[in-house]
A = this chain, B = another copy of it.
């Protein structure tokens, strides 16, 4: 990292709060010498967690007090209204005030989206922010959005998602000309609902590298760098994938633990099973981007452990350094310029 980058961390968010966010923050500081972090939350709890931490990491770490915490199941509207001094809200305020280049939270997704949208506002030309994450697939990875911020989407919304997601893929270095696919229930042009069919037309007419419809199974065969869908479908697709992966992992464990003989086989196969576990480790992909806002906001899984939360911080660093919101804004500006009457 060439220039200094400051991230605000919602240190109280998620299932584990400072027990995860503080060690993850310290690990991120060790890994990134030009990083500065602000831990937002309960001052005494955070200072206690930082006791004994010294040296170069401690110098680049501040604590910013916030007296409230938003519950994981708290209604977003209530959080927005009554939790103005929550760790999440203060972290987002810091992004708005340019006191931080990005914020990272493992808190309540709905509250994070509502607060970020209210405090930071959306970029001009973006009707709705969307949640985008990285998903492993055969021989690579792809990004998918929206994952639950928008249950009903028009074709224009889907098109905006495609633009925002494409900017993110390009900036991450995964592809200079991302293959953009629309999630559908078949690859034939006649399939799908009206929104998807119209979005296909918009993408076809755009300068994005649109590769057509992709299906729930084909997306895991590396057919697109970006998969676009509405938030209902995206949420169900992502969670179904996680559910199946968890079930299979459990089956593998159960079969190897069945009796003395299978346990012995498991012992012999341990290096293979470890390699497999590493390969399927979803923690490596933790950190979803809230795209379309005038600032960088990264959402970590609520149950993230230290390794996973550190990944979310890394995503925040990347997006801040690459100036994702400004890049999306520029891309939209080009589009509007093209569309404007001569």
Contacts and interface: CB of A to CB of B under 8 A. Distances in A.
A23 interface: no
Contact of A216 (B220, B236, B258): B236
A217 B282 CA distance: 14
B245 A216 contact: no
Interface in A229-271: 229, 231-233, 235-248, 250-252, 255-256, 258, 261-262, 264-266, 268-269, 271
A215 interface: yes
A184 to B, nearest CB: 8
Interface centre among A190, A232, A252, A261, by most chain B C-beta atoms within 10 angstroms, is A232
Interface in A123-179: 136-138, 148, 151-152
Contact of A73 (B75, B151, B188, B250): B188
B243 A216 contact: yes
Interface stretch (A40-48, A80-88, A96-104, A272-280): A272-280
Q: Which of the four size classes fits the interface of chain A? A: 35 or more
A44 to B, nearest CB: 32
B243 A256 contact: no
A269 B261 CA distance: 9
A161 B244 CA distance: 24
A279 B251 contact: yes
A14 to B, nearest CB: 17
Contacts of A185: 148, 151, 231-232, 235-236, 239
A276 B247 contact: no
A317 interface: no
Given A73-B188, A192-B151, A233-B232, A265 B272 contact: yes
Contact of A262 (B136, B219, B272): B272
A183 interface: yes
A177 to B, nearest CB: 24
